A and B are shown apart, each in its own frame.
Chain A
């Protein structure tokens, strides 16, 4: 029989679903109760995610836990798979969710209907996408998280948000169509949707089926790259992230990483070294596209006047760095990339929250002049200032300034914080292989210089924004910031600090994760040999 700890694997999907459904039943005016339930559920989710992380860390380097939905064995039923990578993503998601949720409780959660329900459903879609081992099930969870994100991006409304939200929805609906075409091509060519079964079948495919499958995988890849924001598929991203309300943008920082996660998982499991004639399919595209994305993002960071757009473009830089690292197909680079991903996601999320606090002090009219009209429009009177209850932060500007400086150091990848360690691990592993081909060496050095350039551009842009915000105003208006609002920012930055102090332990975990990822045979074996629970009839009827 299965113990409780085996069923823990499905809890990150069930818990947000039940909470979201429950919150739907409560009247919209009972903010306090809704907030309480949401916080309790998110806290529990974080505890479960951390427990799953330790569970995944306990097992040997290349082992994964498998949960058979409906008790059908692997290729026939849908499976959930927990390994180190998915556990890491679950923890990252729940940390961002905690910070964004607490931040929203100060006032944002009241500025539109069903914030808490959509928030929980977004978490459900994210967790499901990280746990599932089936391609079509992945599509379903993608749609769940996208549908929730459509609602959240429109949260608290206004012409600018609705316009940006409309572009966001149109792009993602087109992406969903591509996803379906890709999935069905893969199924038509191979006859399976289970990732592990698919990986086992790819080396044995005939020439015609292989062409079809690679075509399908390429179309599927485009759908994920739209999500991840690879140039030129990511032009929608900065506008959408700038438009979203601050806590929504903070949780959206993980949305682009879902695309990265799927690409990392599929490119290694399906087209790793064991894939026969299809080995390393698409990796050169990832490499080139990633480099272009870093360049585009870095120029965008330099060019953006408003801090929101700066953060949006930095998401692109982060995506590009990770895509290039995936394209290099090297376990050491992957380990560095995972560390970099955690650090940069936390930092971007903290920065999105901080922007709203810092910009509260600025005169909206001056903002409109500084920013291109295209970006801000004419809708800055979004919320009337109501009398806020709560404890305000003393020495507001000093606290905000310290947080801002930490964000700048993290985003630019300067020592001593974790942004530097991530980039260092990434670059040190990238220049290691001495037997690289000339083309690969050119790519490596381009990557090297682009990463340094993107760090420099982030530093310059952050410095300019910081000077304009903290030093330039002659008659400075000190924003009223609640402890409840600065605490999530501090929490995320402290996580980055912990990642810096415990860099050895964190790097060891990432290295074990990368090693197990690059040995997909163990993943295949675990998934395909998972036995149904005896004594329970499959299908449960």
Chain B
């Protein structure tokens, strides 16, 4: 499971960085989205990978903390998803404004000569 997750995060962030370095604004926004997906998975994995263990302590089983998943990274990833979603939406608006004002979807606002 660790290997699959690591490959997935690496694939997402790798493609994201490659797209981030491309000249078109659409590639930029997709690249940033992919990076934020990869980062969200990464935050999640920092709580250690466990299957079938609940993140909430029941009142009867407080004794064995090892049987539970760490809830904090799950809370963090939720915050990160919300913030990432909002900033991506905002960036899309800027992108459309730039497209309208400069008439080009190049990140510098004009085609390279």
Residues of A within 8 A of B (CB): 136, 140, 143, 146-147, 150, 154, 157-159, 162-163, 165-167, 169-170, 173-174, 176-177, 180-181, 183-185, 187-188, 193, 377
Would you call A147 and B90 a contact (CB within 8 A)? Answer: yes
Would you call B94 and A166 a contact (CB within 8 A)? Answer: yes
Would you call B36 and A177 a contact (CB within 8 A)? Answer: yes
Would you call B73 and A174 a contact (CB within 8 A)? Answer: no
Contact indicator per residue, chain B 12-49, by CB within 8 Å of chain A (1) or not (0) = 00000000100001001000100110011011001110
Give Cα distance in the complex from A157 to B28, angstroms.
21
Would you call B107 and A166 a contact (CB within 8 A)? Answer: yes
Residues of A within 8 A of B48 (CB): 188
Q: Given A140-B79, A162-B97, A185-B46 in contact, is the A176-B107 Cβ separation under 8 Å?
A: no
B91 on interface, CB distance cutoff 8 Å? yes
Would you call B108 and A163 a contact (CB within 8 A)? Answer: yes
Give Cα distance in the complex from A377 to B102, angstroms.
11
Contact indicator per residue, chain B 69-97, by CB within 8 Å of chain A (1) or not (0) = 00011001001100110111011001101
Q: Given A159-B102, A166-B94, A170-B20 in contact, is the A147-B87 Cβ separation under 8 Å?
A: yes
Would you call A166 and B36 a contact (CB within 8 A)? Answer: no
Would you call B39 and A181 a contact (CB within 8 A)? Answer: yes
Would you call B91 and A169 a contact (CB within 8 A)? Answer: yes
Residues of A within 8 A of B88 (CB): 173
Would you call B43 and A166 a contact (CB within 8 A)? Answer: no
Ordered by A's residue number, 26 sampled pairs between the chains whose C-beta atoms are within 8 Å are A136-B79, A143-B83, A143-B87, A159-B101, A162-B101, A166-B95, A166-B98, A166-B107, A169-B87, A170-B32, A170-B91, A170-B107, A173-B36, A173-B87, A174-B20, A176-B84, A177-B35, A177-B39, A180-B42, A180-B80, A181-B43, A184-B42, A184-B46, A187-B46, A187-B72, A188-B73
Classify the interface of chain B: helix, strand, loop or mixed. helix
Residues of B within 8 A of A154 (CB): 94, 97
Residues of B within 8 A of A162 (CB): 94, 97-98, 101-102, 109
Residues of A within 8 A of B91 (CB): 166, 169-170, 173
Give Cα distance in the complex from A202 to B64, angstroms.
26
Taking the nearest CB of chain A, how far is it from the CB of B14, in angstroms? 13
Taking the nearest CB of chain B, how far is it from the CB of A185, in angstroms? 7
Closest to A160 in B: B109
Residues of B within 8 A of A169 (CB): 87, 90-91, 94
A143, A159, A180, A181: most-surrounded residue (chain B CB, <10 A): A180
Give Cα distance in the complex from A193 to B101, angstroms.
43
Give Cα distance in the complex from A444 to B88, angstroms.
44
Residues of A within 8 A of B84 (CB): 176
Would you call B73 and A187 a contact (CB within 8 A)? Answer: yes
Give Cα distance in the complex from A193 to B72, angstroms.
10
Taking the nearest CB of chain B, how far is it from the CB of A154, in angstroms? 7
Residues of B within 8 A of A140 (CB): 79, 83
Give Cα distance in the complex from A407 to B32, angstroms.
40
Taking the nearest CB of chain B, how far is it from the CB of A20, in angstroms? 16
Q: Given A157-B97, A170-B28 in contact, is the A163-B87 Cβ separation under 8 Å?
A: no
Closest to A187 in B: B46
Residues of A within 8 A of B25 (CB): 166
Q: Which residue of A150, A163, A173 contacts B109 across the interface (Cβ within 8 Å)?
A: A163
Taking the nearest CB of chain A, how far is it from the CB of B66, in angstroms? 14
Residues of A within 8 A of B107 (CB): 166-167, 170
Residues of B within 8 A of A180 (CB): 39-40, 42-43, 80
Would you call B109 and A147 a contact (CB within 8 A)? Answer: no
Would you call A184 and B102 a contact (CB within 8 A)? Answer: no
Extra 7 A-B pairs, beta carbons < 8 Å, given A140-B83, A150-B94, A157-B97: A159-B102, A165-B94, A169-B91, A173-B32, A177-B35, A180-B42, A184-B76
Residues of B within 8 A of A188 (CB): 46-48, 73
Taking the nearest CB of chain B, how far is it from the CB of A242, in angstroms? 15
B83, B91, B108: most-surrounded residue (chain A CB, <10 A): B83
Residues of A within 8 A of B47 (CB): 188
Closest to B102 in A: A159
Q: Given A163-B98, A166-B95 in contact, is the A174-B35 Cβ separation under 8 Å?
A: yes
Residues of A within 8 A of B43 (CB): 180-181, 183-184
Taking the nearest CB of chain B, how far is it from the CB of A326, in angstroms? 27
Taking the nearest CB of chain A, how far is it from the CB of B105, in angstroms? 11
Residues of B within 8 A of A157 (CB): 97, 101
Taking the nearest CB of chain B, how far is it from the CB of A218, in angstroms? 16
Taking the nearest CB of chain B, how far is it from the CB of A160, in angstroms? 9
Give Cα distance in the complex from A472 to B55, angstroms.
71
Taking the nearest CB of chain A, how far is it from the CB of B77, in angstroms? 9
Give Cα distance in the complex from A146 to B84, angstroms.
12
Query: Which B residues, 42 to 62, have Cβ-Cβ distances below 8 Å to chain A?
Result: 42-43, 46-48
Closest to B99 in A: A162
Give Cα distance in the complex from A159 to B109, angstroms.
8
Closest to B32 in A: A173
Give Cα distance in the complex from A78 to B87, angstroms.
24
Give Cα distance in the complex from A163 to B102, angstroms.
9
Give Cα distance in the complex from A158 to B83, angstroms.
27
Would you call A176 and B76 a contact (CB within 8 A)? Answer: no
Taking the nearest CB of chain A, how far is it from the CB of B29, in angstroms? 9
Would you call B32 and A174 a contact (CB within 8 A)? Answer: yes
Residues of A within 8 A of B72 (CB): 187, 193
Residues of B within 8 A of A166 (CB): 25, 91, 94-95, 98, 107
Residues of B within 8 A of A181 (CB): 39, 42-43
Give Cα distance in the complex from A462 to B47, angstroms.
53
Give Cα distance in the complex from A431 to B5, angstroms.
51
Closest to A150 in B: B90
Closest to B83 in A: A143
